[in-house]
Amino acid sequence: MIAFPNCKINLGLSIVAKRADGYHELETIFYPVALQDMVEIIHSSDKEHAVQFSHSGIPVPGNEDQNLCVKAYHLLKKDFPNLPAIQLHLHKHIPMGAGLGGGSSNATSVLILLNQQFNLGLSQIQLIEYAAQLGSDCPFFVLNSACHATGRGEILQPFVCDLNNYTIVLLHPGIHVSTAWAFSQLKPHAKPKSIATIVAQPMHTWKTELINDFEAPIFEAHPLLSELKNYLYQQGAIYASMSGSGSSLFGIFPKDQSCAMPPFGDKLRIDII
């Protein structure tokens, strides 16, 4: 069984407060974007290995046991001990560590595929509960439609936001940003106007009102990202922003409008969705 997990962008990202458990309270709008990876699961007869994991495309670093897709299998295996052994293949196209949620999307797809392929009978609510154990933005990919997110990002409410009449351009400059470092640079505080209120306004107001709190410290540390955001506006974007804690940026353009490759060197990757 095969799935094509997509990525997401953040329309605004406000870090509201530091929690007693060490996490942060946030507000954002998650929006799905059709840049996809591929996940395939097939039954395995291997008696020694519960998961035979392989990957292609963008290299996937790190220990296999720490991969979120493998963790998703073992999370369900604890409650469903008869879950068969599998071969799990991941083809990566979504950049990693880019603020696009590719790893979270992949892991959530594994939960959904295992539920379907082996008739586990999990409801959408149960899948969301399992996904939340893997990562704060994993539950979004169970719903996979525009959502207003609060809490750690796991409290979701469907949100009316349709960007189908626009073109979304993604820029990934290959700069690694430490999420822990990024959070350490912020001073969480409540904002006078909610992100939900701003996104409900006409899009031309977003440029001055819809803010990603991570941009200020990350742009200071990596000025190229600020240049890229400005470049998107120069190319005609109605709204441009960094997604998550970066380093990917996106621009929302009028439908069918193109964006030229930015003249900032060979390390840039541009995906036009």
Instruction: Please list the active-site residues.
Output: 8, 137
Site of tokens 């998107």:
232
Tell which phi-psi region holds residue 161, choosing left (phi > 0), alpha (psi between -120 and 50) or beta. Answer: beta
Closest CA to 126 of 147, 110, 136, 112: 112
CA distances from 5 to 65, 101, 140, 191 (A): 21, 10, 12, 33
What does 125-156 look like in DSSP terms, one character per residue? HHHHHHHHHH-TTTTHHHH-S-EEEETTTTEE
**Cα 225 from chain centroid?**
18
How many residues would you count in the chain?
A: 273
Cβ-proximal residues to 137 (8 Å cutoff; 6+ apart), any chain: 8, 30, 101, 104, 149, 153, 154
Q: Is the peptide bond before 247 cis (omega within 30 degrees of 0)?
A: yes
Please give the span between the terminal C-alpha atoms of the chain, in angstroms, as a whole number.
25
Q: Which pairing describes strands 2-3 and 38-43: parallel, antiparallel, or unpaired?
A: antiparallel
